[in-house]
Amino acid sequence: MDKLEAFLNRLTELKNEEEITDFCRKYLIHGTPHIFNNRENEYYEFRKKIANQFNIAFYEIYITGSAKLGFSLFKQKPFDYDSDIDVAIVSSQLYEKMLEPIYDYQMELRKARKSITVTELNQYHSFLEYTAIGWIRPDKLPLSFGVDILKQEWFDFFKSISYGKSEIGNYKVSAGVFKSYSHFEKYTISSLKQIINTQKIRNKNVSTTN
């Protein structure tokens, strides 16, 4: 937890947008993830597996979250065997390919050809909110969405490289697709700013109670 506390304290020292952006690029995006520390070749092979599956470049695949840092900023706990491996695929090619069936699904909804529950509609709206910021999350699609690449094919593949079946080790692998690097970076910076604000509020509350 010492590393986590030190990291959180460093966040509150960032003074402007440029410093926040540099910090985000350096620690949250760039470099070999914690899960592959001193295993750069295995990191490459893991990325290559995903790249080959979706016919994209290996460098368009990133590991984010606690597997990247070694601790979770949101949950404020160390990376452990209960943690998921969060993969961000940054590929406009794959993003557009995955959007195609969304168009068809939306048209069927508009023409009332699709029967969908209130719960599924809320889930679909959540999916569309992420899509609006350039991030496709197949886990947010309702059960009535039966397109292979966005449901069964997607989850079957990531299951096949989870829990000891790939270089990643005994962890569950989850993934989403960003439209571009710019969308990926903006989302990551936005999340970091939320944590910075939360940490500043926490520190202020601690100082006023002491």
- Domain membership flag for residue 148: yes
Instruction: Say if pTM beats, i.e. exceeds, 0.85.
Output: yes
- Domain membership flag for residue 134: yes
- Domain with 144, as residue range(s), is 2-204
Residue by residue, pLDDT tens for the chain (210 residues) are 588 999 999 999 999 999 999 999 999 999 999 999 999 999 999 999 999 999 999 999 999 999 999 999 999 999 998 999 999 999 999 999 988 888 888 888 887 767 778 888 898 899 999 999 999 998 888 777 765 556 678 989 999 999 999 999 999 999 999 999 999 999 999 999 999 998 887 776 766 565
CB 149 within 8 A of CB 171: no
- Domain membership flag for residue 153: yes
Query: What are the φ/ψ torsions at residue 173 (nearest 5 degrees)?
Result: -105, 125
- Domain membership flag for residue 209: no
- Domain membership flag for residue 210: no
Distance, CA of 156 to CA of 146 (rounded, Å): 14
Beta strands, E only, the chain: 61-64, 71-72, 77-78, 85-90, 135-136, 173-178
- Domain membership flag for residue 132: yes
- Domain membership flag for residue 18: yes
Alpha helices in 24-117 (DSSP H): 40-54, 66-69, 92-110
- Domain membership flag for residue 159: yes
Q: Domain tally for the chain?
A: 1
